[in-house]
Structure 1
Amino acid sequence: MNIGLKHTPLMVLGTSSGAGKTLIATAICRYLKRKGEQPIPFKGQNMSNNAWVDTKGREMAYSQALQSWSAGLEPSAEMNPVLLKPKGDCTSEVIHLGKSVGTSKAINYYEDWFESGWEAIKKGLAILLKKNGRLILEGAGSPVEVNLQHKDLTNLKLAKFLNANCILVADIERGGVFAQIIGTIALMKPDEKRLIKGIIINRFRGDKALFESGVTWIEKETGIPVLGILPWLKEIFPPEDSLDLFERKQINQTADIEIAIIKLPRISNFSDLDPLFSDSSIEMRWIEPGQNLGEPDVLIIPGSKQTIKDLESLNKTGLSNQIKDYAKKGGNIFGICGGLQMLGQSLEDPYKQESINEKSKFSNKGMNLLPIKTTFGEIKQTSQREVRVTWPNSQNVKGFEMHYGESDLINGKNYDIISLFKNSSLGWVIERENKSFIGGTYLHGIFENDEWRRQWINKIRQRKGLNKLTTFEENHLDKREKLLDLLTDAFEKNVNLDKVV
């Protein structure tokens, strides 16, 4: 069913999760923008704890925000009308059009949320279609999971609803690329198969000429053209799934300082750290519960979808004791959102927002490194912010809030503690005599503020006896644009979309 679209939508489907749909859809957005079109990214349903908050204070997956920037648009929750945020124990928070509407067990999700999810998707589409551009749709996982296909919100049901031209992406790095493609198409119904207008082979290593006979075979067996073969690209963007975190590699091989990051079991918003990964003066190292913390120059505790449960993991594995010992020895520590909450004295959860079962405790002890108490309320705080920061120096910074917990100082007068912002509830820091610091903030995206990030890094460098950084070679937003262009250059060089646009 075509609903009166001026431009036929393009949909990127994959033979599996991780086939490369997100980056290929991102590249298509920039490619069409270069051609004078207005691409509009859309993913009906996404499952991710890596989120963004739009200008109206609504949550959406970070990957659709990235695609929006690639298309030259301001991100909006309509681009990702259904977002599932895993909480653990097969339970997810359900977000519709940017607002939390409940939680669901995986086994009950399709029965309880299918109809309302489809309505949210149609509402999001109706708003986006007013922009009069071309929808660039991203599928999820595989489109032919036969046990789930009748309740699949975001693949072939959506493709048929919009009569989209679909591109099937297969990851040759995984092996079995011919079986991936043939098997996926074989499981499609005739009216679904006719929507597949092209195939892209992704993550190819070596000389593409070696695969020419493979291309011929695929086209003969499927009757569908191979649009191109994309080479293996370095991980230049934050991974969509936290399972891929250890695969994130730095281009930099020489560094002045080392930053350790706690890889929480339920880590969220790890894109907060992206500006640090591409900094040539920094070596990043992930620490998993149970591993040795070592002696980094600074430790970051990132956000968590389930702060109390992740704190329990740190306690059980002894990593929280390592963190406290590191603090006693004068180590620098900085927490973001859930990481900030863990550094406090207590975490109280009267409404079971951070608890999975009824046996969970109302009050939980924190690491007692900051004199704050956190209480998890019923209403989530979500908003973009531009605020005045007071430390390490005074300046305006931008970011966003996304949290249930509210933190307050406990006997703050007894500590030499600094409010990071004029709004004191957004974060605090303690500077010690040895010039080390322990602090944190609720402001996601704080490291994207180049001048603030430089001053923060210089605090660490100064203590280590290193010269201060006077400037960065390239600011974060310019670097992101450069990477989007590099991605699109590779796509344009290796893929021909003429047969599908």
Structure 2
Amino acid sequence: MVLGTSSGVGKSLVTAGLCRLLRRRGEQPVPFKGQNMSLNGYVDEDGGEMAYAQAMQAWAAGLTPCAAMNPVLLKPQGDGSSEVIHLGRSAGVSRAEDYYRDWFRPGWLAIRRGLDVCRKQQGRLVLEGAGSPVEVNLQARDLTNLRLAQFLRARCVLVADIERGGVFAQIIGTLQLLRPVERSLMAGLLINRFRGQRSLFDEGRVWLEQRTGLPVLGVLPWLGERFPPEDSLDLLERQARKPRAELRLAVLRLPSISNFSDMDPLAAEATVQLDWLLPTDTVDQYDAVLLPGSKQTMADLKAMQAARMDERLQRYVAAGGAVLAICGGLQMLGQRLHDPRGLEAETPGDMGGLGLLPLVTTFEPGKVQRQWTATTTWPQPGQPCTGFELHHGRTTAPIHGAQSLYTQPGLGWVSPCGRVVGTYLHGCLEAGPWRRHWLNRLRSRRGLPPLPTAVPHHAAQRDRLLDRLADALAEDVNLEPLLHESSCPHPQPLSRFPCAGMMGIPYPLRWAPPG
């Protein structure tokens, strides 16, 4: 199990790298995260919804992603509540203050069922924790960290991010808040995102090992490329500058932005500078503006209107600008959005859209969750695009004025001028030829030569990044304490950690719901 001293320390990446490395060694790793909170989603082959991070870990392990690998998914809605997804399907909505009271037992049951499915893979479970495992006010009902580690007797590695600073306090503080039974599961420490000469950390490594009695399994370097973050708060950190970029594209960072990994193929283009903008920013200087998915489409549209981004976008398009919108962004492009049952807000209602495509969206109960292999009609007919739908709302084009983007109706539309494009297909930009054809239209307007269009699917580049991550783990990390139970250290006496066991957090080693 990969635990972290806090959110954002690199647990997802380390877990993915471990999966790829174990796969290389001839094992079958099986990734599993009992509970995740993320708006970066994926839909499996059976239409089950899961976090994108666990899909990425499945690809690293050579497996087809399955919602059982992430049996509990929480999707924040921006009002102190979250949609609760159990085993790929929406189970309801919970306010934060009610979650641990109302959803603990159903959540643990979903986790047990997910484990049953994953165990059928006949491999080694590689578990990822969530946030910090020692949030003492929540620890008694934490579903996915120490309870799960104890239930499975997992050998745990604690990851700390040295880039954030305070790495010694992160580690010592976390270990001090563990109970002895939890402390006995700790197999080692891992320092992540180290910059510079690693010998400079030798003294710190020795100090940690002497102070904790745990081995520092490795010091991972800063790898440069970043995988999709779990939290949209990390998006601004991903704005790598490309001095030689020929196109500048803007992505609107909406308040409830979702599925921001859709933009990764563009960020990976060497000739593209991708900037994440707030609704208050200007867009006139960009070659195209991208509207990503949204968990709360109407609320995000209202935020754009309050910042007058809607007016700026309309002027931008009228002046010749290009817009590409995905899912919730597509819904915003239309003329009207209807919410007759109050699914998007507390009360029923409707509102005007951006008016950039002649579309009408009506929000209805039930969520569309399915994978697609669609065939494009524009800009190059006959191009295959694979991806998935994940949305509330049905969109129609009741009047003429927009061409279907695919031979399959209802998936996407493009304006007659070809400068405004909207699609429901998450992952459409991963199709190399289609992405390059769209970029070449932008390049032509700038007088730039076209890029080659015979390029592979973005999955090939994702695989190279996973290989690079596995290479770093193989070179810099000693995995033996994780792979062999006899290598696990003995628990330190409680006196070494005077805060351990504070608050008298009571829960049994192996707990199961009634029945």
TM-score where L is the length of structure 2: 0.91
> In the alignment, which residue of structure 2 is the partner of 1:300?
290
1:352 Cα deviation (Å)? 2.0
Superposition pairs for residues 209-228 of structure 1, below 5 Å? 209-228=199-218
1:474 Cα deviation (Å)? 5.5
Superposition pairs for residues 49-60 of structure 1, below 5 Å? 49-60=39-50
Contact 1:251 1:278 survives alignment (8 Å): no
Contact 1:172 1:202 survives alignment (8 Å): yes
Counterpart check, 1:392 vs 2:379 = yes
1:130 Cα deviation (Å)? 1.1
SS in 1 for 2:83: strand
Separation in 2, partners of 1:496, 1:107: 41
Counterpart check, 1:159 vs 2:146 = no
Name whichever structure is richer in strand by fraction: 1
Contact 1:51 1:60 survives alignment (8 Å): yes
> In the alignment, which residue of structure 1 is the partner of 2:393?
405
Contact 2:443 2:450 survives alignment (8 Å): yes
1:250 Cα deviation (Å)? 3.8
Separation in 2, partners of 1:292, 1:466: 24
1:252 Cα deviation (Å)? 4.1
Separation in 1, partners of 2:287, 2:160: 41
Q: Partner letter of residue 196 of structure 1?
A: M
> In the alignment, which residue of structure 2 is the partner of 1:333?
323
Superposition pairs for residues 185-200 of structure 1, below 5 Å? 185-200=175-190
Separation in 2, partners of 1:455, 1:175: 43
> In the alignment, which residue of structure 2 is the partner of 1:254?
244
SS in 2 for 1:145: coil
The CA deviation string for residues 62-100 of structure 1, in whole angstroms up to 9 with x for no partner, is 000111111111100010000001110111111000001
Counterpart check, 1:114 vs 2:99 = no
> In the alignment, which residue of structure 1 is the partner of 2:222?
232
Which of the numbers 457, 475, 480 marks the counterpart of 1:493?
475
> In the alignment, which residue of structure 1 is the partner of 2:124?
134
TM-score where L is the length of structure 1: 0.94
Contact 1:53 1:402 survives alignment (8 Å): yes
Contact 2:239 2:274 survives alignment (8 Å): no
Q: Which runs of 5 or more structure 1 residues have no equivalent in the other structure?
A: 1-10
1:177 Cα deviation (Å)? 1.5
Let me know the Cα RMSD of the aligned residues: 1.3
1:238 Cα deviation (Å)? 1.5
The CA deviation string for residues 3-49 of structure 1, in whole angstroms up to 9 with x for no partner, is xxxxxxxx000111111111111110011111111000000000000
Separation in 1, partners of 2:225, 2:206: 30
Ranked by relative contact order (alpha carbons within 8 Å, sequence separation 6 or more), the top structure is: 2
Which of the numbers 128, 132, 143 marks the counterpart of 2:133?
143
1:204 Cα deviation (Å)? 1.6
Q: Partner letter of residue 312 of structure 2?
A: Q
Separation in 1, partners of 2:182, 2:163: 26
Counterpart check, 1:99 vs 2:89 = yes
Separation in 1, partners of 2:287, 2:206: 54
> In the alignment, which residue of structure 1 is the partner of 2:407?
422
Contact 2:404 2:413 survives alignment (8 Å): yes
Greater alpha carbon shift after TM alignment, 402-411 vs 57-66: 402-411
Which of the numbers 353, 357, 368 marks the counterpart of 1:366?
353
SS in 2 for 1:227: strand
1:475–1:385 Cα change, 3 Å: closer
Separation in 2, partners of 1:420, 1:123: 40
How many residue pairs get aligned? The number is 482
Which of the numbers 14, 31, 37 marks the counterpart of 1:41?
31
Greater alpha carbon shift after TM alignment, 226-235 vs 321-330: 226-235
Q: Partner letter of residue 272 of structure 1?
A: D
Separation in 2, partners of 1:235, 1:48: 21
Separation in 2, partners of 1:410, 1:431: 16
Q: Partner letter of residue 86 of structure 1?
A: P
Separation in 2, partners of 1:109, 1:472: 49
Contact 1:252 1:278 survives alignment (8 Å): no
Separation in 1, partners of 2:160, 2:335: 49
Separation in 1, partners of 2:476, 2:416: 52
1:115 Cα deviation (Å)? 0.5
Identity %: 52
Separation in 1, partners of 2:449, 2:222: 37
Contact 2:241 2:273 survives alignment (8 Å): no
1:473 Cα deviation (Å)? 6.1
The CA deviation string for residues 265-308 of structure 1, in whole angstroms up to 9 with x for no partner, is 11000111110001012111222011112231111111100000
Counterpart check, 1:124 vs 2:124 = no
Separation in 1, partners of 2:277, 2:122: 46
Counterpart check, 1:453 vs 2:435 = yes
> In the alignment, which residue of structure 1 is the partner of 2:265?
275
The CA deviation string for residues 433-475 of structure 1, in whole angstroms up to 9 with x for no partner, is xxx5112010110001111111111222223222222236654
Contact 1:252 1:279 survives alignment (8 Å): no
Separation in 1, partners of 2:441, 2:293: 22
SS in 2 for 1:425: coil
Contact 1:91 1:103 survives alignment (8 Å): yes
Q: Which runs of 5 or more structure 2 residues have no equivalent in the other structure?
A: 484-515
